[in-house]
Amino acid sequence: MNQQISFVVHLPGKPEAREELYSNLIKVLDAMSEEPDFINTTLHRSADDPDTLVIYETWKGTAAHFLEHHMKKPYRVEYERTLKTLLKSDRTFEWLEPIRTYVKNS
């Protein structure tokens, strides 16, 4: 599989669920980082809303492959089941198409 997909996920957490959302997400990120298709991820906290977590992810494969294969992994089951109770509004995915890559040479 030579194709790659990158995307951004916005998780607008409830203020009272900030720590639970973060700790649940860290468990998922730790597990998914061991997947063979995983390339990288960066977890961010919104500067405008500290209750909102934003994830940038890159995986081998397509968006369809990610949704069908990785979103159904056992380590995601409990996370997905409780996620809606921790969010003040829906999670959003923003799928990205690469145009050009810049890498700083050492």
Q: How high is the pLDDT of residue 2?
A: 72
The token pair that represents 71 in the structure block = 């979103």
State the pTM of this model.
Answer: 0.90
- SS3 state at 49: coil
pLDDT in tens, 34-63: 999 999 999 999 999 999 999 999 999 999
Q: How high is the pLDDT of residue 106?
A: 80
The token pair that represents 85 in the structure block = 């109770």
Domains of the chain: 4-96 (3.30.70.100)
* Torsional sign, CA 85, 86, 92, 95: negative
Residues forming a β-bridge with 102: none
41-72 burial, b for 16+ CB within 10 Å, e for fewer?
A: eeeeeeeeeebbbbbebbbbbeeeebeeebee
Residues forming a β-bridge with 87: 13
Point out the residues of the chain with pLDDT beneath 70: 1
